[in-house]
Amino acid sequence: MSEIRVAVVDDHPVFRLGMAGLLDSLPGITVVAHAASAAEARERVDDGVDVVLMDLHLGDDSGIETTRDLVRRLPDLAVLVVTMDEDDESVVAAIRAGARGYLLKSSSPEQVERGIRAVADGEAILGPQVAARAMASMMAGRTAVRLPFPELSDREREVLDLLARGYDNATIARRMVLSPKTVRNHVSNVLTKLAVPDRATAMIRARDEGLGA
């Protein structure tokens, strides 16, 4: 690839413009789009973009959902998450959504450049601070021998697990890096699929099946 065309998606203008300035100074990398929200990202990121630098928090929007939407529409697009979040849930959620890389905002300019070139070349890359923890979390998920509530999607099961721990929608949204509206929709779907009247009943059923531990 002779030139890597990059879009920077971040709701903080100082970081977004600073990152764009850094990238434009690098040989073979050109910033072709900026976005401060999920709506702007969906509007401005097209097949003229090779790599998206994606923050996970876009105001009231979720970078996870935005990543999933962009990758679904543009399968060849490489998304490199650059965020403050280093918890296991965020890393795994980003990779499941289709991100090819995950860096922290504390990464050096050299690490960011290396990450962009890697994902543009089809590689996957994780920052050194998160790689070991992310792999451990993903392997733990793969070794589960029994899947409770098979009628639920993976995302709905994650929501139910957090609900079973007693978390409210706002906390679930924060931990899963989703918008509150999306969490409300998932909770409603869970109640419908489990044929239970309320959250309390769903919590009891979930705990009976080992969730929420």
Mean pLDDT of 18-42: 94
Q: What is the pLDDT of residue 132?
A: 60
CB-side exposure of 186: number of CA atoms within 13 Å?
Answer: 24
How high does pLDDT run on average in the chain? 87
Given a cut of 90, whether residue 2 has pLDDT beyond it is: no
| Secondary structure (3-state) at 193 | helix
pLDDT band at 140 (very low <50, low <70, confident <90, very high): low
Given a cut of 60, whether residue 145 has pLDDT beyond it is: no
Model confidence, pTM: 0.66
Given a cut of 90, whether residue 43 has pLDDT beyond it is: yes
Q: For the chain, which domains are there?
A: 4-138 (3.40.50.2300), 154-208 (1.10.10.10)
pLDDT band at 144 (very low <50, low <70, confident <90, very high): very low
Dist. CA 4–CA 31, nearest whole Å: 8
Given a cut of 60, whether residue 138 has pLDDT beyond it is: no
Cα distances (angstroms) measured from residue 39 to each of 26, 59, 64, 166, 205: 28, 11, 13, 32, 37
